[in-house]
């Protein structure tokens, strides 16, 4: 894709699932990728190895392709850790072009039983973390007087309520205005900010149903395309949004969801007959 070669990207939560696939895809497109993780370094190492492998494949195809992945541990909800992460990335590469705010968690609980601590925890990682990292990236773009791209990995639950996952749906609803407000504030300075809204995707966050055929069928029956998405399908759209192919897109969230945001229960006529 146009404009990714030799760029520097930071992907939060790059040790697993969608973030891992995005990191690999950006690496395959010729970007150098800093892979952030928090608690499972072994996952991050496998991402790095996969990127190295992906870059090797690209090197065969493109004589001058080749990224230089690094690992950066940081809890994105921790302001000091995030500042140190940006120092590390800028110190290593001397620049930053792309931030992918992907790190995310969810906690299931009846909302009347949900503890304030658990509500705060989800907001801290999913929303405060995205803000802290976006702020770090914008500072880097402005200091270098260069364009930049931020991609916020949101969710269909940016617009679809999610009972029993209150912190999660509130965080993703907030992400919509994080995306739109930052996009408007910095559009004139060459910074694009967009959202990617995955539907149900086969990743470890969904371990409760992906390996159980009965539960999985129940989930997939709700999806108009009748299947869950793959991380690579999310990564392809993230790469597009990060690339110059999307040079005129800002403030938008692209839902990649097999039709889940299309009010699936209206697939058959029930309301007017």
Which one of 151, 198, 238, 255 is in contact with ligand NAP (CB under 6 A)?
Answer: 198
Q: Which two tokens stand for residue 127?
A: 């929303």
Contact pattern for ligand NAP over residues 114 through 133, marking x by CB under 6 A: -----------x--------
> Contacts with ligand NAP in 55-74 (CB under 6 A)?
none
**Chain centroid to CA 46:** 18
Which one of 105, 108, 144, 159 is in contact with ligand NAP (CB under 6 A)?
Answer: 105
> Contacts with ligand NAP in 85-104 (CB under 6 A)?
102-104
Element containing residue 116 per DSSP (H, E): helix 116-123
Q: How far is the CB of 76 from ligand NAP (least distance, A)?
A: 4
155 binds ligand NAP, rule: CB under 6 A:
yes
Q: Which two tokens stand for residue 25?
A: 């895809």
173 binds ligand NAP, rule: CB under 6 A:
no
3-state helix, strand, coil in the chain (%, to 5): 50, 15, 35
37 binds ligand NAP, rule: CB under 6 A:
yes
148 binds ligand NAP, rule: CB under 6 A:
no
168 is a catalytic site residue: yes
Q: How far is the CB of 75 from ligand NAP (least distance, A)?
A: 4
258 binds ligand NAP, rule: CB under 6 A:
no
Q: Which two tokens stand for residue 222?
A: 């709700």
Q: Considering only 17-25, 64-72, 142-150, 177-185, which stretch makes contact with ligand NAP by CB under 6 A?
A: 17-25
Cα distances from 116 to residues 20, 130, 158, in angstroms, run 30, 20, 21
Q: How far apart are CA 109 and CA 11, in angstroms?
A: 29
| b/e burial code for range 73-111 (CB count within 10 A of at least 16 → b) | bbbbbbeebbeebbebbbeebebbbbbbbbbbbbbeeee
Cite the active site residues: 168
Interface ranges with ligand NAP (CB under 6 A): 12-13, 15-19, 36-40, 43, 75-77, 102-105, 125, 153, 155, 198, 200-201, 203-206
């Amino acid at each position: 894709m146009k404009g990714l070669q030799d760029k520097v990207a930071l992907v939060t939560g790059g040790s697993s699932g969608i973030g891992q696939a995005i990191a690999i895809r950006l690496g395959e497109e010729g970007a150098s990728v800093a892979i952030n993780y928090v608690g499972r370094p072994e996952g991050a190492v496998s991402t790095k190895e996969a990127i190295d492998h992906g870059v090797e494949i690209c090197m065969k195809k493109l004589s001058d392709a080749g990224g230089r992945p690094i690992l950066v541990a940081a809890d994105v909800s921790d302001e000091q850790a995030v500042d140190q992460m940006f120092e590390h990335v800028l110190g290593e590469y001397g620049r930053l072009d792309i931030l992918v705010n992907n790190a995310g968690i969810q906690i299931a609980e009846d909302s009347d039983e949900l503890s304030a601590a658990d509500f705060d925890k989800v907001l801290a990682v999913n929303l405060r973390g995205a803000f802290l990292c976006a702020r770090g990236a914008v500072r880097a773009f402005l200091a270098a007087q260069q364009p930049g791209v931020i991609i916020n990995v949101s969710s269909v639950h940016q617009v679809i309520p999610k009972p029993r996952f209150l912190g999660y749906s509130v965080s993703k609803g907030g992400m919509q205005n994080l995306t739109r407000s930052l996009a408007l504030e910095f559009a004139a300075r060459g910074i694009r900010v967009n959202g990617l809204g995955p539907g149900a995707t086969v990743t470890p966050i969904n371990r409760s149903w992906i390996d159980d055929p009965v539960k999985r069928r129940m989930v997939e029956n709700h999806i108009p395309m009748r299947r869950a998405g793959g991380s690579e399908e999310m990564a392809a759209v993230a790469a597009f949004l990060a690339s110059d192919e999307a040079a005129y897109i800002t403030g938008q969230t692209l839902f990649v969801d097999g039709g889940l945001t299309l009010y699936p229960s209206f697939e058959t006529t029930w309301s007017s007959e």
